[in-house]
Amino acid sequence: MHHALITGANRGLGLEHARQLLERGWHVSAAVRNPDAATELAALPVGEGKLDIHAYDAADPASAEALAKGVTGPIDLLFANAGMMAPETRKFGQAAGEAMLQEFRVNTIAPLALVEAFVGQVEASEMKVIALQSSRMGSVRDNESGGGYGYRSSKAALNAVGKSLSIDLKDKGIVVLILHPGWVKTDMGGPNGQLTVPESVSGQLDLIARAYGNPVMSGRFYHVSGQDLPW
């Protein structure tokens, strides 16, 4: 049974990743800020899979090490999915502040801390895939509308982290994917998104399946469609 660790699995894309992987018979370790409030996650039908729910706060860099004490065994897919967008940093004027620091803690530092805590378990697995949930808004070349100071810059920094990880972990046989889920109808993406949550997750899982044993995919920035995105 393949094993996935997914952060931010209590809603949106993370919840749907847990749902679809359980349907495929995976063991899912779902990391959420408040397990007692993750009622929708806890109610997922397990089928042939297995679901464990763990406490994890992406805003706390020490939370990854604490999580590593509770999640055991090889991890085929380590998915740093948890993220945030602070409304205070969207427009120029007062963007530089504590809210922007929080975006970097959650969107950039937390995924790196997660990989540092679990790299040995990923290396010990069959698939050896790390996925980072980025965003097209992290593309510097693609920015033609401005704004989004905290979210854009923290996701651009995450992309740089992912690229470095792909180089540093190459000798361990680990493939690192940097993913844009598309414009999805979620709380963050809004009601006008072009993709439903199941459609986006299905596309991302297809990319993850392709990455298994395929090092040429490591360190690349992918649209959910499979298209390479510009940095």
Positions marked active-site? 151, 155
Q: d(Cα 146, Cα 137) in Å, to the nearest integer?
A: 10
User: Within a 10 A sphere around the Cβ of 218, how many other Cβ atoms?
Assistant: 23
Label residue 122 exposed, middle or buried (CB < 10 Å: 0-12, 13-18, 19+): buried
CB-based contacts of 215-218 (< 8 A; 24+ apart in sequence)? 215/170, 215/173, 215/175, 217/175, 217/177, 218/166, 218/170, 218/174, 218/175, 218/176, 218/177
